[in-house]
Chain A
Amino acid sequence: MKILVAVKRVIDYNVQVRVKEDNTGVVTENVKMSTNPPDDNAIEEAVKIKESGKATEVVAVSVGEEKAQETVRKALAVGADRGILIKADGILEPLAVSKLLQKIVEKEKPDLVFMGKQAIDDDCNQTGQMLSALLNWPQATFASKIEIKDKKLEVTREIDEGLETIEINIPAIVTCDLRLNEPRYASLPNIMKAKKKPIEQINASDLGVDTSPRIEQIKVEEPPKRKAGIKVKSVAELVQKLKNEAKVI
């Protein structure tokens, strides 16, 4: 079984995101970039499945600028066998990314495609579901547990009401929740080994997909600032304020 894992390069989750002064977006220059956190869970799960003997190959794929190669390389350092970078500049909407991934799926013919449930930059939560629609494959979104049963997966999904379990036939798409597993850190020897693993580079324009944005980003602004609060002196004062001023208790 072959597993394709899609990974995205995003601003690190510990960075305080700042809006550009001209309101065209957020500042990305000289900002620490990392793998989108739930994509780390997706890679971890694929590598674990391979280690259990149920998969033969894990391929990591990313779509983005040249530097997204680092994100693919990190996936290789934690156990993916080889990488693919689809090079594309500018804003890529999930619809465009899912169409590009569809081309890779058609070429690579994986049995499973894993990715994070959502990217922490645009917060869209679309790509996995869109890819499964384009392929007409089953989808298991927000997965917190995956069990492989012959040509089927039993997946536990995190839903608002609690947990849902579904059974899907392979080939299938799974989008991963943070609760799925605990991603490992890359060891130094594995980081060195990853440098020798191949990364195939493909230009998005060679895949015959129109990636031009369909959504015009008119402006990006700071969220409204909270009014400065006050410090209270005592618990009694706090309770009094909450009751009589804020009227929330």
Chain B
Amino acid sequence: MSVLLVAEHNNKELKPFTLNAVTAASQMNTDLHAVIIGNNCGDAAKKLSELPLVKKVIQVEAAYYENFVAENFAPVIVKLAENYSHVVCSANTFGKNLMPRIAASLDTSQVSDIIKVISADTFLRPIYAGNAFATVKSKDPKKCITIRPTSFDPCESSGGSAPIEKAEPSEEFNNTKFVKREEIKSDRPELGTARVVVSGGRGMQSGDNFKLITSVADKLNAAIGASRAAVDAGYISNDHQVGQTGKVVVPDLYIAIGISGAIQHLAGMKESKVIVAINKDGEAPIFSVADYGLEADLFEAVPQFIEELNKLNTIQK
């Protein structure tokens, strides 16, 4: 049987992580179909049909699918799942909210947040915030899998022409009503998906000093992160927190400034491709994971760092 991918979109366009999820799903079975549920989502459905790895698109539309309420989405997918061996989507807030509702209805034990497909029923997934990797084999006849998008490359986005079939919507779930969505509008990339993250810790000493972090982030078009200690000290709001109890980030470049490297912080960033640490304590645990460590007073080193970056004149966009 084939794999059913649940597409994430905004009714006009596919969300970028849908492409990463298609790559992961295609590794479970190349006979890959994708379902798109929305309202007037024809444009997004067309884009889905153009992904060469997708063999068929199933489009389901109703006014009450406009805002992706899981209680409305799940019954549609549960019904379609009769014909599929796997249901797959991204382990972001969309998929985390939706997939367990599908899995419980199918009486399937879901495998969450996989980082590798070993075979059609065996997967690698991080546990304890990445402090251990578990190899798990699903014994359920139908498998519900969420994938960590940053662990899979995005698939080709053009050249395909899969047929688009329409399927019937399910009844509306009346006990949940969408009210509003406030998207954080920032010129900066999102912390979870940024190519570069610059983080500050307790060593920043004050919220005001975080403007040094902001300056570095501006230069590198980076997202701003923080350790739990900096958040607890009130230097910055907790939506910037990187770590086991905050966000897990996997950027190409992670710059830790004035961060000692508590276990719970390391858990949130140690899979980054390149790690830089600037800290005046040469014994700080952050140096054990840093590719490039600079033992220096951050209040001297960071302004110099900004100056050097200015010289390079390479603002990354």
Contacts and interface: CB of A to CB of B under 8 A. Distances in A.
Interface in A205-243: 213-223, 226-227, 229-232, 234-236, 238-239, 241-243
Interface string B156-185: 000000000000000001111111111110
B308 A239 contact: yes
A133 interface: yes
Contacts of A137: 175
Contacts, number: 257
A178 to B, nearest CB: 6
Contacts of A218: 122, 135-137
Interface in B87-124: 91-94, 96-105, 107-113, 122
Interface class of chain B by DSSP: mixed
A243 B276 CA distance: 13
Interface string B115-146: 00000001000111111111111111000000
Contacts of B31: none
Contacts of B48: none
B309 interface: yes
Among A93, A126, A154, A217, residue most surrounded by chain B Cβ atoms (within 10 Å): A126
A133 B101 contact: yes
B190 interface: yes
Nearest to B290: A229
A89 B298 CA distance: 50
Nearest to A213: B109
A115 B256 CA distance: 32
Given A121-B128, A246-B291, A248-B274, A215 B135 contact: no
Nearest to B69: A166
B47 to A, nearest CB: 19
Interface of A: 11, 13-17, 19, 26, 37, 93-96, 98, 120-134, 137-139, 141-142, 154, 157-169, 172, 178-179, 213-223, 226-227, 229-232, 234-236, 238-239, 241-243, 246, 248-249
Interface of B: 69-71, 74, 91-94, 96-105, 107-113, 122, 126-140, 173-184, 190, 192, 196, 220, 238-239, 244-246, 252-253, 262-264, 270-271, 273-276, 282, 287, 289-296, 301, 304-305, 308-309, 312, 314, 316
